Amino acid sequence: MGIQVNHLVKSFGATRVVNDVTFTVNPGELVALLGPSGGGKSTILRIIAGLESSDQGEVWLDNERVDHLHTRDRRIGFVFQHYALFRHMTVADNIAFGLDVRGVPKEKQRKRVGDLLDLMGLSGLDGRLPAQLSGGQRQRVALARALAPEPRLLLLDEPFGAVDAKVREELRRWLRNLHDEFHTTSIFVTHDQEEAFAVSDRVLILNKGRVEQDAAPLDVLDHPATEFVARFVGEVNVLDAVDKDGAVFAGPLSVPVTATGAGKLHVVVRAYDLKFWHAEDGQGIATARRVVPLGDRVRVDAEIDGGVPIFAQFPRRSSLLRGVEPGARLGIEVTHARAWPAP
């Protein structure tokens, strides 16, 4: 049955940092816990691992309640950003560590370590010490070490946070390949949405100790459950808007959302869900301010008449960009938006 977390609650002093969190991870699934720093992600992982106790709630692993079990009896593997390798042990000994403490016969250990070295692209490095490895290699060893004893659950807490962007992307691919090979039920914590979407089957968005949404990556993008999720995921404009007789406007800009009759609204528009184009003299509803190259895309920062900033992204060679330069008048069409009543 994988893992089931029921109504978890945890406070530090007067602050409730985990607030009635319930979720399931099915066997073989890789789920990401995504949210801003301080949202309670690490605390949830530590409770599952048995490194922290909860005030209320239950943790079930494979139909067994594990709250009362010691960490070492839960059979959970960890990879944390700063969960360092044993410095005085070779790569092979690090990977074999969890097998050794369980008394697995040496011959079986060697076979398992060899398989993992191959799988992780670490062949030939088995005799090295951690200090003789790159950051990316070290995290691959950490992954192999966590997986060697065949844990029931793998917990990864921002495991790639300390390596640079290029290596991080490589490690994501290693992790995903490894997951597709072993199907170890896994929870991956990150504050980086791109990372969450790149590796996981499902995403739990966590904010202030609460699960705001539990859905597939595309659903989180296209059907955000709350204004928080809409704002947190993707690059968005948030505009104050009003509902005038069933049509929604942010200043002079018409917004295609079903009117709610709520009066004042917050409209959330993703950077790729609107079009700018160069308007004829005397027309348009905005002025372009900055055109920022982002590699294969271009971001255009503009100001709607009345002073409200808005931005959009375009493929670099988009025909819409013709004549769009600082000072140019712009027409704007919003193609997709979501609205929430303004508090």
| Min dist. Cβ of residue 220 to ligand ADP (A) | 17
| Min dist. Cβ of residue 273 to ligand ADP (A) | 28
Share in percent of the chain as helix, strand, coil (round to 5): 25, 35, 35
Measured between alpha carbons, how far is 339 from 205 in angstroms, rounded to an integer? 19
302 binds ligand ADP (CB under 6 A): no
| Min dist. Cβ of residue 236 to ligand ADP (A) | 21
Binding Mg ion (rule: CB under 5 A), the pick from 5, 35, 42, 276 is 42
37 binds ligand ADP (CB under 6 A): yes
- Residue 157 vs 227, nearer CB to ligand ADP: 157
Chain-centre distance for alpha carbon 10: 22
Which one of the spans 37-45, 67-75, 232-240, 311-319 is the region binding ligand ADP (CB under 6 A)? 37-45
Closest C-alpha to 141, from 110, 166, 116, 176: 116
184 binds ligand ADP (CB under 6 A): no
Q: Contact at 8 Å (CB) between 339 and 260?
A: yes
Closest C-alpha to 334, from 216, 241, 225, 219: 241
Binding ligand ADP (rule: CB under 6 A), the pick from 5, 21, 25, 39 is 39
42 binds ligand ADP (CB under 6 A): yes
For tokens 């699960």, name the residue: 211
151 binds, among ligand ADP, Mg ion, none (CB under 5 to 8 A by kind): none
Instruction: Look up residue 208 and give its two tokens.
Output: 């202030």
207 binds ligand ADP (CB under 6 A): no
Q: Side-chain half-sphere of 257: how many Cα atoms within 13 Å?
A: 25
Which one of the spans 41-49, 108-116, 142-150, 211-219 is the region binding ligand ADP (CB under 6 A)? 41-49
Q: Give whole-number Cα distances, 24 to 30, 78, 285, in Å.
A: 11, 18, 48
38 binds ligand ADP (CB under 6 A): yes
Binding residues (CB under 5 A) for Mg ion: these are 42
